[in-house]
Chains A and B, each alone.
Chain A
């Protein structure tokens, strides 16, 4: 097996063009899987072409206009969501190498993720609609409750590898996957990654009780961009758990890229399953859980990992 350090660190430049299509394909697969499960639960026939059909329908649909809308922020917010997701995706190691091997990769990833905050608020604010605004505020109000445990979970993995570079974090797990020494960080990461994409039980910002919340006034291509961007963000956020905690492309027999795909698929399936099992969590209740339970847990987890690193003579 070649040393990861001696291999060229980043994928060839043409991957910049491939990456968005790859992520969109994965997001479409997630939508198809989710829709098939729903169809089966209803006793209907599964429809794997549903994302394509739905995208086509939205593309020809009319864009809704509202009175006194702030269209600059409204459209900009929708566009930021998928762009931020793809930009975050450039540091994901697809196999052994990412599209861009940044030395501060995980911080970059987090910075792109929080753009979703601004995006959802802008989309909620833009149409001059009360329900949209309620949805946007729901997300922003939860922001720190999501972001702090998320940040601590990411930093714990970086601490274990003594590097902010995703490929270094993968390389540091050659002996032992980080999920073994930092299980709390792994679970908290998955929870908060789902929450950052306002998915699963954290979908209050686009909840049915506020008629779709931030997405209430979206139709046609705007809805496609927003809903697609949200799924891209979910895919990317969940996919980073693989290099952070599950050893990246490490595994027997299969090539690295296939292991990354398999592990990502398993995690995405888990996230879909959780969404179907749990109802939407009330926002104020989760805030309390995040501050009283998750933040202290992740801090203790980071402390334990720091002691392990010091014990093996790291941080010299």
Chain B
């Protein structure tokens, strides 16, 4: 258990720092993913199976999408040339290392209270109840807000709207799409 903790902890920190050392955007993305996966392992070590597995699920999806966007906005679209991050690298490294040092010092120097109470028998159930019981309204508002944001972003980003597809009076029978077919 302790051995596993140290392996995961070292992997998390080293892979996180590799983000500043590697010179390829793609490798940086997956170094960050490796760091997140190690953190997910640490969360599972705490006995929080559901949270740990969900971190794996979400982070893999997120970082792959991130890779797409990073390559998309990169100056060198081929992307395989050495490609360091030039945007205030020293500043961001100082912030990252500083945050890590402050948090680590805080963890080590805090006088932690002894544990009272016991973990719930079914962590996943307890988590679900905490999120969807007392905080139901918060979570629902959050969900709808996020969804509205996504829809809004897509509407702003897309070049073609319904007037392009169905004509100025929206009276065209079949949508005029660059690639035909499909259900709508």
Contact = CB atoms under 8 A, between A and B. Distances in A.
Interface string A102-134: 111001101100110110011001001000000
B27 A73 contact: yes
Nearest to B48: A104
B182 A289 contact: yes
B85 interface: no
Nearest to B54: A107
Nearest to A129: B80
A147 interface: yes
Contacts of B49: 102-104
Contacts of A104: 49-50, 53, 124
B26 interface: yes
A76 B34 CA distance: 12
Contacts of A111: 53-54, 56-57, 60
A70 B24 contact: yes
Interface in B84-125: 122, 124
Interface string B13-45: 000000000001011001001000000000000
Interface stretch (B3-11, B61-69, B139-147, B166-174): B61-69
Given A111-B57, A117-B61, A73 B26 contact: yes
A20 interface: no
Q: Is the interface of B mostly helix, strand, loop or mixed?
A: helix
B57 A137 contact: no
A70 B53 contact: no
Contacts of A293: 183
A33 interface: no
A128 B80 contact: yes
A195 B181 CA distance: 20
B134 interface: no
B124 A140 contact: no
A141 B72 CA distance: 13
Contact of B64 (A69, A72, A118, A289): A118
B160 to A, nearest CB: 13
A141 B63 CA distance: 13
B179 interface: yes
Contacts of B124: 103-104, 164
Given A72-B27, A110-B57, A121-B64, A164 B183 contact: no
Contact of A118 (B30, B54, B122, B182): B30
Contacts of B54: 107, 111
A164 B122 CA distance: 12
Name the residue among B50, B53, B79, B179 with the largest chain A CB count within 10 angstroms.
B53
Nearest to A127: B80
A118 B32 CA distance: 13
Given A70-B27, A73-B26, A104-B50, A114 B68 contact: no
Nearest to B57: A111
Interface in A159-187: 164
B184 interface: yes
A41 interface: no
Nearest to B40: A111
A73 B56 contact: no
Interface in A82-120: 102-104, 107-108, 110-111, 114-115, 117-118
A140 B50 contact: no
A313 B135 CA distance: 23
B130 to A, nearest CB: 16
A268 B30 CA distance: 33
B64 to A, nearest CB: 5
A264 to B, nearest CB: 24
Contacts of B56: 111
19 contacts: A69-B80, A70-B80, A103-B50, A110-B57, A111-B54, A114-B61, A118-B33, A118-B63, A118-B64, A125-B26, A140-B64, A140-B68, A143-B61, A143-B64, A147-B61, A164-B50, A282-B179, A288-B184, A292-B182
Given A70-B26, A137-B68, A288-B184, 14 more contacts: A68-B81, A73-B30, A103-B50, A103-B124, A104-B49, A111-B57, A114-B60, A118-B63, A122-B26, A125-B79, A143-B61, A143-B65, A147-B61, A285-B179
Interface of A: 68-70, 72-73, 76, 102-104, 107-108, 110-111, 114-115, 117-118, 121-122, 125, 128, 137, 140-141, 143-144, 147, 164, 282, 284-285, 288-289, 292-293
Interface of B: 24, 26-27, 30, 33, 49-50, 53-54, 56-57, 60-61, 63-65, 67-68, 78-81, 122, 124, 179, 181-184
Cβ-closest 9 pairs across A and B: A288-B182, A111-B57, A111-B56, A107-B53, A104-B49, A104-B50, A128-B80, A114-B60, A108-B53
